[in-house]
Amino acid sequence: MAVCGAAQIKKRNFRQREIGVFGGASYYIGDLNPRKHFFPSHPGLGVFFRYTTNYRFAFRFGVNYGTVSASDANSKEPDQLERNLNFHSPIYDGHAVAEFNFVDYRIGNDKHYFSMFIFAGLGMCYMNPHSNVNGVDVPLVNLRTEGQSKSYSKYQVTIPFGVGFKWNVLPRIGLGVEWGPRKMFTDYLDDVSGAYSSNGFGIPGTMRGNPRSKDWYFFYGFTLSFKLPQAAEKCPGVGI
């Protein structure tokens, strides 16, 4: 009983490990889609590992895959319709984030079964923008459409953050829903940033994008996590 009593006192400092899957969608905000969130969205999926240090904090490491795209043809803005550019790119997203639960939460605990949470961390992504030109799929990275001295990298550092809810559905299974922006430090996810160069793609010197703003991509959807067995359960009756 003394062991169980000590465990109850320290219940907030438990360790819990989870593996999980993400299923949802991805989309982008940038020069070709400056304002329309969630449009167009494409299927996204991922896997993750979560290490919980107490009822309020956890660390998550994951990999997501999705696709982003946009087309000036879908805009109602005259300047975008005249520009008439489009792009699509795969997104391989790796991230390490810290989570904070607004209320105590733990899988398998009937008392602390639901929480809103926020998260933030550091990530990296792989992108490879292409464009559909007269029915032909054209890789854009090496074209240097704005006269760059060298091609931009397909690998980019990101800052992932977001908000969500999570709750228990079974003693060892938790369900979540979340929305996670990724701030990028490049404006070339869509291959559009500054002015046209003298390469035949447009009138040299005229602007084709806004170099003052960087591109963003987003993942949103559901997570399903599975609590891994503990090394020992000294007090199975107290729900810690």
- Where residue 123 sits, what CATH number does that domain have? 2.40.160.20
Sign (positive or negative) of CA dihedral 62, 65, 225, 101: positive
Domain contains 111: yes
Query: Once rounded to an integer, what is the mean pLDDT over residues 95-121?
Result: 95
Domain contains 237: no
- 3-class DSSP state of 163: strand
User: Which of 122, 105, 236 has the alpha carbon at shortest distance from 174?
Assistant: 105
Domain contains 135: yes
Query: Once rounded to an integer, what is the mean pLDDT over residues 204-231?
Result: 91
Domain contains 9: no
User: What mean pLDDT value characterizes the chain?
Assistant: 90
- The pLDDT score that the predictor gives to residue 1 is 46
Q: Summarize pLDDT for 112-148 with one digit per residue, the tens.
A: 899 999 999 999 999 999 999 999 999 999 999 888 8
Inter-residue contact 218 to 161 (CB < 8 Å): no
Domain contains 7: no
Domain contains 232: no
Domain contains 3: no
pLDDT greater than 70 at residue 80: yes
Domain contains 189: yes
Q: How many domains does the chain have?
A: 1
- The pLDDT score that the predictor gives to residue 90 is 98
Q: For a pLDDT cut of 90, what percent of the chain falls above it?
A: 74
pLDDT category at 2 given cuts 50, 70, 90 is very low
How many other C-beta atoms are found inside a 10 Å radius of the C-beta of residue 52? 21
Range(s) of the domain holding residue 156: 14-227
